[in-house]
Structure 1
Amino acid sequence: MSTLKSLVVHVDASPQAAVRLKLAEQIALAHGAHATAVYAVTSALVRYPMAMAAGADMAPALAEVDAQRLEAARKLYAATVSPAQVSWAECTGAPIADTAGQALYADLLVLGQRAADETRDIDVPPDFVSSVLIDSGRPAIVVPHIARSPIKLDRVLVAWKPTRESARAVTAALPLLQQAGSVTVVAFDEGDEPARGDDILGYLRRHGVQAAFKREVAAEISVGDQLLSLAADDQSQLLVMGCYGHGRAREWILGGVSRTVIASMTIPVLMSH
């Protein structure tokens, strides 16, 4: 019986929100879970401070922009998923804090990667995904902005490192791994210490997951790029990995591998901090 019972999916007014909604509904149906679509965006009053500076009479116009975006998101939600499977919630204020707060009551989040063209993706701050991961401490599937429905999660690549972040990511992914058709664990040699897979393979086996193991030597290129290349070569449909960061929210420095994957992913990535 799956332990995945509650999901939160972030929704904004972008067409890509429909892909996230469908994935959340798909996972919820497969695991007997319920998903909540959380509409949380930066208000136009904050996004366009220069407009407010030009005169207080701009406030009604900016409020109308917010109302139109909300209505567009509501219509997208209604046209995409069943309310019986995915309920609707609206948050006001800071999207990072609002989403992270809702995440505390979820087993898994579904978030969206920032589009390469940042001018088109202004509903949430640039550090939305990474900050929600850090602030909530909850695992998330981050959906690439190029993704299209339906999304398959049948071939999974697990990036393993004997750390708490990796362990949390694997534990969070277990319900998905148990339903996957193919699971491969990859680990990278670190210095003189060769990567080992017997412990993690044994752990997965005890949870009903039969996985193959790949040992890799970190190349001169970024390990993040190497990991994404391995996922492409393996035709993986989901990457599972720990997310590394340091310091307090809004002040932390994201680890190089995590930063590369978040920026360049082409398949969904389940991450946990």
Structure 2
Amino acid sequence: MSTLKTLLVHVDSSPRAAVRLKLGEQLALAHGAQATAAYAVTSALMRYPMAMAAGADIAPMLAEVDAQRVEAARKLYAGSVDRAHVAWLELGGPPIADFTQQALYADLLVLGQRGADETRDVDVPADFVSSVLIGSGRPAIVVPHIVTGAVRLGRVLIAWKPTRESARAVTAALPLLLQASQVTVVSFDEGDSAAGAEAGIVGYLRQHGVQAGFKREVASEIDVGDQLLSLAADEQTDLLVMGCYGHGRAREWALGGATRTVIQSMTIPVLMSH
């Protein structure tokens, strides 16, 4: 039986980190887990490497920028959660590598979607979420940048495919599914044999104490990711559960179409696993 005992929440200096912190605390309290808020950002020197050409005086200025950002994050943390439920950790190296290493020891991660205006999210690289998901192999709840209030997890939609990624996502979500008020599984027929899909996944969930409904949808010619997000809106879904599909190539992560669409366009939290 999957359990939640260790949670790792990504924190930067943006106000949206408060939503992630509160969700981490919410999950810790609901599941008797210990959450850790891990501050991981790209240093000012790494963000502006060419600035050093302006002279040696620029280094203290960049260091002051970093000091102001971490202080802002500490205040955000102190004002958002109880230290008894959420510990604090500062990571000083490259954010993707450092956070991914810490993620190996967590049952679930809490990450934030990159904002539509990329200039507002300079604390971490654009591919932070996808790189951590695929690099660590750990499941994560990705919180949309538009969410500003409390996160609800009562109504859950599972995007099911008979793949290891989907299976891992469902297993990781079991503690949340057991506390959900409604669970629905959707399977998109993309031309592959879907015989037994409903009985298989619904039966698996039932064995773990989760009663789930089932929907079969035919994949249209549009991006299945858009179709999935549209269905989630129609179902008034609080949380979407799905596999994260992608692979490493030329030192960059190439994401599957539906995964890329959901990460870019999500309006509700998404629990993903690679």
TM over 0.5: yes
Change (3 A) 1:232 1:122: same
Over the aligned positions, Cα root-mean-square deviation in angstroms equals: 1.2
Q: 1:247 deviation in Å?
A: 2.5
How far 1:12 moved relative to its partner?
A: 0.3
List per-residue Cα deviations over 1:92-146 (Å, max 9, x = no partner). Answer: 1100011111111100000000000001100000000000001111000000000
| TM-score, structure 2 normalization | 0.97
Q: State the identity %.
A: 78
Match of 2:86 in 1: 86
Q: What pairs with 1:2-13 in structure 2 (closer than 5 Å)? A: 3-13=3-13
The runs of 5 or more residues in structure 1 that have no matched partner are none
Aligned position for 2:263: 262
Distance in 1 of aligned mates of 2:69 and 2:243: 34
Match of 2:253 in 1: 252
Q: Note closer, same or farther for the CA distance 1:2–1:199 as it changes in structure 2 (3 Å cut).
A: closer
More off after superposition, 17-26 vs 50-59: 50-59
1:214-252 deviations in Å (ceiling 9; x for gaps): 000001110000000000000000000000002358423
Task: Call closer, same or farther: CA 1:77–1:249 in 2, change over 3 Å.
Answer: farther
Deviations 1:56-90 (A, max 9, x none): 21000000000000000000000000000000000
Letter in 1 for 2:252: E
Please give the alpha-carbon distance, in whole angstroms, between the structure 2 residues aligned to 1:147 and 1:168. Answer: 26
Kindly report which structure 2 residues correspond to 1:1-273, keeping only aligned pairs within 5 A, or say none.
3-191=3-191, 193-194=193-194, 196-247=197-248, 250-273=251-274
CA contact (8 A) 2:103 2:136 kept: yes
Aligned length: 273
Equivalent-residue separation in structure 2 for 1:214 and 1:249 (angstroms): 38
Contact 1:135 1:249 in 2 (8 A): no
SS in 1 for 2:252: coil
What residue ranges of structure 2 are gaps of 5+ in the alignment? none
Q: Distance in 2 between matches of 1:28 and 1:235?
A: 25
Where 1:82 maps in the other structure, the secondary structure is coil
What TM-score results when the alignment is normalised by the length of structure 1? Answer: 0.98
Q: 1:207 to 1:88 in 2, by over 3 A?
A: same
Question: Which AA in structure 1 matches 2:99?
Answer: T
**Kept after mapping to 2: 8 A contact 1:107/1:139:** yes
Q: Secondary structure at the match of 1:184?
A: strand
Q: Which moved more, 1:22-31 or 1:245-254?
A: 245-254
Taking the aligned partners of 2:250 and 2:64, their CA distance within structure 1 comes to 31
Q: Distance in 2 between matches of 1:231 and 1:82?
A: 32
